[in-house]
Amino acid sequence: MKFSIAGREIDPEHPPLVIAEIGVNHDGSLERALALVDAAAAAGADVAKFQCHMTEHEMVPTDMKPGELSDERLWDIIKRVELREDEELRIRDHCAKLGMIYLSTPFSREAADRLNSQDVPAFKIGSGECNNHPLLDHIARFGKPMIVSTGMNDLATVKAALDVIGGRVPVALLHSTSMYPTPYSKVRLGALADLKNAFPGNLVGVSDHSTGVWTAIGAVALGACIVEKHFTLLRNGPGPDSPISIEPNELRDLVVGVRAVWEARGGKKTVLAEEKPVIDFAFATVVSIADIEPGDVLDKANIWVKRPGTGKIPAERLGSVLGKRAKTKIPANVHLSPEQIEDFSL
């Protein structure tokens, strides 16, 4: 499928899309949200992604807490990080001013409608909504590309999600592990191959929750066309996801590393023309290591291999020279040529 967002082509032939998942790390503050966009843009990210929460439409009142992530009630957290629509529009316009793509994840039908009315160019679907078939169907009707995280889902449930979307829009699948932070041993980058093999019509990427940027960068070598990481200004600062997020200097490293690995991927084990200057000084060729008279037998006492590799007889041919006789006088420490050796040719 052709996959592009706001004119940005996304496929193996273009650099991977880097998404700074600001999410709710603004902690409900518009000023902090704008500062996070500024920092993400300065680091070189392509996308500033937020989350669109409308608490009453998203969940029923509950005293549930988000496990080890916080002692605060989930309802109170979501309520605190809500942004008004006018604030979201300010953020969207600020992203455009900085040349960034603005995306947001809806967690309800009403949030999806709000984002669609804001003209978002695509929809990012969180792992928790990968099997929310009513919401997937609703969003697919907008006719915009969908980036679907697949944490907490296996290939069967991912297939079910794609069946609901039904090919109506381009879909990119992001492998993710919903552990915060994710131990490196649980990242499972091999899942990228599973997704590519099972769903060859869809691009793949990662939404990575491990510490640092290393596994996200490594995913590019395995075909990730989209890389997403939670982003914050300070890990010990405000924002529910800040403790498991990367900071601006790390985002900068991620952007550089993703581009470097993308440029380095592929290729074949051949000799490049650009390697010739190094070949000339790095390779060895057959040389004399003692004065040699005509008729002398060439052995390891009078010939060996040395650099630079500018002689005519490469080092790997030394064995075929040994035991031959010299045709001419050969001074010590010069490159041998076939013309100086009896019954020898290359």
Task: State yes or no: pLDDT of 327 exceeds 90.
Answer: yes
Q: Is the pLDDT of residue 294 over 90?
A: yes
pTM of the model: 0.92
Q: Which residues, 6 or more positions from 7, have their beta carbon under 8 angstroms from its beta carbon?
A: none
The answer to whether 225 and 188 are in contact (CB under 8 A) is no
Q: What pLDDT sits at residue 331? A: 98
Calculate mean pLDDT across residues 199-208: 97
Both tokens of residue 184? Answer: 């490196």
Asked whether residue 236 carries a pLDDT value surpassing 80, the answer given is yes
**Higher per-residue confidence, 259 vs 68:** 259
Say yes or no to pLDDT of 70 above 90. no
pLDDT score, position 180 = 94
219: helix, coil or strand? helix
Q: What is the mean pLDDT of residues 59-84?
A: 90
The pLDDT score that the predictor gives to residue 249 is 98
> Which residue ranges form the domains of the chain, and what is each CATH number?
4-264 (3.20.20.70), 273-340 (3.90.1210.10)
Per residue in 44-64, pLDDT (tens digit) is 999 999 999 999 999 999 999
The band of 231, judged by pLDDT with boundaries at 50, 70 and 90, is very high
CA distance linking residue 86 with residue 50, whole number of Å: 14
Helices (H) and strands (E) in the chain, counts: 12, 12
**Computed from CA positions of residues 110, 112, 115, 116, in that sequence, does the dihedral angle turn out positive or negative?**
negative
The yes-or-no verdict on residue 259 having pLDDT over 90 is: yes
- Beta-strand relationship, 123-125 and 101-106: unpaired
If you average pLDDT over every residue of the chain, what do you get? Answer: 97
How large is the average pLDDT for residues 63-73?
84
A 10 A CB-CB count for 279 gives 13
**Residue 66: its pLDDT value, please?**
86
Confidence of residue 71 (pLDDT cuts 50, 70, 90): confident
69 pLDDT higher than 70: no
pLDDT at 13 (0 to 100): 95
Quote the tokens at residue 178. Answer: 């919903």
8-state DSSP, 322: T
